[in-house]
Amino acid sequence: FQMDTTPESYLDLFPLDAIVYLTPDSENVLEDISPDKVYVLGGLVDESIHKQLTLQRAREQSLQTARLPIREYMVKAPNSRNYYSEILAINQVFDILCTYYETRNWPVALKAGVSSGKGYVLREVAEQ
């Protein structure tokens, strides 16, 4: 992975059809990572959760959206708080993407990046 920082907007740096805005509210599942695409991690620096806000932002900018395949590879694990969340910190999403890029294996990447505190476990772990 190459990472650069710039004060410029991604909208000014890349063609709109190359940008994929990652948001947990997307209906589209990220199945693979393409070197021809630019992935924007839709994040908020906020303690409260604003449902649909990152999806709304992407739609306003006419961007493709996708979500990590948490529902496809993970299941809700019983927990005392009955808490389940697919909303991850930016560093967790970045770690998942890096691990997936190296391994091309979503279960391995999700296991490495989705903490148990989110209430999800890999599907095969739950079936054992």
Amino acid (one-letter) located at 122:
L
Sign of CA dihedral 18, 22, 27, 33: positive
Residue 12 annotated among the catalytic residues of the structure: no
In the chain, which ranges are continuous DSSP H helix?
10-13, 53-60, 70-73, 90-103, 106-113, 123-127
Kindly name the residue from 32, 36, 46, 95 that is annotated as catalytic: 46
Instruction: Provide the β-strand partners of residue 65.
Output: 21
Q: How far is CA 11 from the centre of its chain?
A: 19
Buried b (16+ CB within 10 A) or exposed e, 43-63: beeeeeeeeeebbebbeeeeb
User: Catalytic residue numbers?
Assistant: 46
